[in-house]
Amino acid sequence: MKKIIFSHGRQGRPDGQKIRQLSQIAKAKGWQSHSVDYTDTLDPDIRAQRLIDVVRRQQQPFCLVGSSMGGVNDNHHFSKNPKAVECLFTLFLQRIDHSI
């Protein structure tokens, strides 16, 4: 069974709405999921180490799915360990000011 590892954004939560909805879709498709909890820190080095610790425990192929700052963290890990990750999906939302 494949696995998705979610990384939430700066103001997100490991049980936030996006992650809950994506986890339900993954489960319906036969995937397992895990959400890393970064709520106690904004320090990028601590967040990166936390992701590394989770990734090291994986015994099967996995995909990284990150939102906002979690996506930055996932992309950083992927750039250093591309063979360890089967796929990478990053969500970045940008508000566009059309009044300019």
- Identify the pLDDT of residue 86: 87
Please report, for the chain, the start and end positions of each structural domain, with discontinuous segments joined by +.
3-91
Residue 100: which residues within 8 A CB-CB, separation 6 or more? none
The whole-chain average pLDDT of the chain stands at 88
pTM of the complete model: 0.83
* pLDDT of residue 100 exceeding 70: no
Q: Which fold has domain 3-91?
A: Rossmann fold (3.40.50)
* pLDDT of residue 85 exceeding 90: no
- Identify the pLDDT of residue 95: 66
User: Which residue, among 65, 62, 61, has the nearest Cα to 75 in the 3D structure?
Assistant: 65
Scored b (16 or more CB within 10 A) or e, 19-36 reads beebbeebeeeebebebb
